[in-house]
Amino acid sequence: MNALKADRSLFGVEAVARMIESGATLLLAAEEALLDQLPRGNWIAGTIPYFMSAEQGGVEDHERIFVTRLPEQARVHRQELMDGEALPSFAQSGPDNGFTLLYLPSQSDVHGMFALHGQTWPGLFDRPVVGWVAGTALDRVGLDTAKVYDGASGTKSDTHAAVMHIALPDHAWAAVDTVNLFEQGDGDAIHFDTLGFTAGEARINGQKRRLIDYIEEHGIDTRLPLVADYNGAKINVATARIVEEEGKLEFFAPVFPGITYRFAKPIGDYPALFAEKVAKMDRPPSFSCNCILNYNYADLEGRHTAGITGPMSFGEIAYVLLTQAVVYLTIEGL
């Protein structure tokens, strides 16, 4: 097994337990029943059974744990579970030099708080912040609840966030980047009057309309996200579902007033385009995650996404909440 696979791959419970007991710092993802069996140590985790693996490409696995092993020089500065009252201050307890990992359970209050207000929290942009939103098997949505874990205390929660601050030596530094295959289409400009995860009406080229009527009339494929341009950064808002009886859309990330959205252009061969986008990476990332919608819509089972491996998430974090995107972190100078 090469170094990439050894540091970021799928392992059985016993193998992961041995890594924890050796003192390794691990970022884990797996089914709840597997994570429940692990000893205490320097690890945090979230629940999900979908992964991008180096060996198999996209895979659904209910028997193994995806392990991201951080370099030995990357030391845990602090880790804990944080409730909604404490979470707005999470970034202020990080190290002077390093990065922060934030795991959120899907559909929880802390998930919503971070998505709606996290960009205003003190210290958020002082150091790189990356992470993902834990979920469940797709056929168990609404039946099971997503969980996050703090390995140091041996506790899990579906209402708290898992936070791990990592300190780096002075000669090293971390950098965050994203891969977004979607671009704004050439369609109508869409604006929203209120902040939130749902929308009934929107202003289409300035005219107020029911959004679901507009989508039906124009035959829009809602697998394509809304895309906003934030000073050159393309931010996706993925549609969760259309609620016909209420005449509204539900989203996986919030829409914001004052921002121009357009539905994305269709994309072609996802894995080929993805490989092209990440071809310039000069070293494998120390952390990465991809969106479950990309896995599902682009039929990624058994297909590889270049050097990106890790959990398929219900939301991605690169300082703020993203959807239908890839987030990765590299550590330079080690």
Predicted confidence (pLDDT) per residue in 293-331, tens digit? 988 888 889 988 877 899 999 999 999 999 999 999 999
134 and 233 in a single domain? The answer is: no
Integer CA distances (angstroms), 29 to 133, 160, 181, 218, 256, in order? 11, 16, 24, 39, 31
Q: Among 241, 263, 285, identify where a domain stops.
A: 263
Over the chain, what is the mean pLDDT?
92
For residue 6, the model assigns a pLDDT of 47
pLDDT digits (tens, 9 = 90+) for 142-196: 899 999 999 999 999 999 999 999 999 999 999 999 989 899 999 999 999 999 9
Domain that holds residue 100: 3-178+270-332
Q: Among 244, 263, 282, identify where a domain stops.
A: 263
243 and 301 in a single domain? The answer is: no
80 and 151 in a single domain? The answer is: yes
57 and 157 in a single domain? The answer is: yes
CB 239 within 8 A of CB 227: no
220 and 147 in a single domain? The answer is: no
96 and 168 in a single domain? The answer is: yes
> Region 256-275: what's the mean pLDDT?
88
Residue 184 lies in a domain: no
79 and 129 in a single domain? The answer is: yes
For residue 15, the model assigns a pLDDT of 96
Q: Is 18 helix (H, G, I), strand (E, B) or coil?
A: helix
Band of pLDDT at residue 5, cut at 50, 70 and 90: very low
Say how far apart CA 64 and CA 57 lie, in whole Å. 15
For residue 33, the model assigns a pLDDT of 98
35 and 135 in a single domain? The answer is: yes
Residue 259 lies in a domain: yes
Residue 183 lies in a domain: no
Number of domains in the chain: 2
Residue 185 lies in a domain: no
Residue 25 per-residue DSSP state? -
Residue 119 lies in a domain: yes
Kindly state the percentage of the chain with pLDDT values over 90. Answer: 78
Does residue 284 register a pLDDT over 90? no
Residue 85 lies in a domain: yes
72 and 29 in a single domain? The answer is: yes
More confident: 271 or 163: 163
223 and 107 in a single domain? The answer is: no
For residue 306, the model assigns a pLDDT of 77
Residue 248 lies in a domain: yes
pLDDT digits (tens, 9 = 90+) for 57-103: 899 999 999 999 999 999 999 999 999 999 999 999 999 999 999 99
Residue 294 lies in a domain: yes
The contacts of residue 100 (CB under 8 Å, 6+ apart) are 90, 91, 94, 127, 128, 129, 130, 131, 163, 164, 165, 166
pLDDT digits (tens, 9 = 90+) for 201-236: 999 999 999 999 999 999 999 999 999 987 778 899
102 and 202 in a single domain? The answer is: no
168 and 255 in a single domain? The answer is: no
Q: Among 219, 247, 263, identify where a domain stops.
A: 263
For residue 1, the model assigns a pLDDT of 35
pLDDT digits (tens, 9 = 90+) for 97-155: 999 999 999 999 999 999 999 999 999 999 999 999 999 999 988 899 999 999 999 99
For residue 7, the model assigns a pLDDT of 63
DSSP letter string over 119-171?
A: GGSTTTTSS-EEEEEE---GGGBTTB---EEETTTTEEESSSEEEEEEE--TT
